[in-house]
Amino acid sequence: MSREFYFCCNKQETNRFGSNSIVSERALREIYLKEFGIYVKESAPGSVMTSYNLLNGIHTANRKDILDDVLRGEWGFQGFVMTDWGTTGDAFNMGRHGASSSDMSIRVGNDIIMPGNKKDVEQILDGLATGWIDRSDLELCAGRVLAMSKSLSRVIQNE
């Protein structure tokens, strides 16, 4: 059976663009993150997709604590992180909370913004110009995508 995991706290289809999952730290750790942590540690996926929802008032695509601290730090995730399709675009993100921030996504380690658009590029370039994000933030994200690309290329060549 195929299972879809959105990182994190959003397994619903109804209002998935506009939900704000209010979860205590204990419930987050003991219930919601536990299943995902087992999956990441045991299967070593190449990529993870953040969910549309807010988690305690902040878009999951903009949360350093779950992306960098938990996913990469505690669980040792080596792949790249991407946003769900259109999470930074208001047209897709129909909820009352609006879209996630492209520059913040890069700052916290969300490597690919799907599908990406002119507004995302402008927001990231503005973030670089103002110092909100560092070039090193962007290089880390690009490096993880390139590493996965090289890894996939080796797999394809060996088939």
List residues with catalytic annotation: 84
Q: Determine the Cα–Cα distance for residues 67 and 95; give it in Å rounded to an integer.
A: 22
Closest by CA to 105, choosing from 129, 74, 130, 127, is 127
| Distance of alpha carbon 49 from alpha carbon 34, whole angstroms | 17
DSSP secondary structure letters along 45-77? -SEEEB-SSEETTEEGGG-HIIIIIIIIIIT--
Side-chain-side CA neighbours of 81 within 13 Å: the count stands at: 27
Amino acid at 119: K
